[in-house]
Amino acid sequence: MAVQQYDDNLQTNPYAIYTVALDVDGKQVLTDQEGYIQNMDEWSESFVEAPVRDMLKHFKKAWGEEFATNHYLHEIFPKGGPQKQGNRLAGIRRTKGEH
């Protein structure tokens, strides 16, 4: 993961300060500092797996090994899992295809 100054030409997040390059199947995919992908043409199922791994690494440092698991995240976000419940709490609309 490499941190770079935010490129204003991306114009995907007006509050972005920097981008993070994630390694996805040997390619660099840019996200903003909150993990939102910058170029939707680069989205893949492998991209999903890469941010989840990155998130769990962060939780491992912050909370310890015991709490850095998908199982624990679903325990603390029981109403639809961490992504759905987090989106609702943040006021983000329901995503297409969400049950």
Give the position of tokens 């769990």.
Answer: 56
- Comparing 15 with 18, which gets the higher pLDDT? 18
- Comparing 54 with 94, which gets the higher pLDDT? 54
* pLDDT given for residue 50 in this prediction: 85
In a domain, 12, yes or no: yes
What is the mean pLDDT of the segment spanning 32-42? 81
> Model confidence over 72-94: pLDDT tens digits?
888 888 887 777 777 677 666 66
And the tokens for 13? 């997040």
pTM for the structure as a whole: 0.57
Count how many domains the chain has: 2
Helices (H) and strands (E) in the chain, counts: 3, 3
CB 80 within 8 Å of CB 89? no
Domain that holds residue 70: 44-91
In a domain, 96, yes or no: no
Helix segments in 1-99, DSSP class H: 45-63, 70-76, 81-90
Residue 22's Cβ-count burial label (10 Å; 0-12, 13-18, 19+) is buried
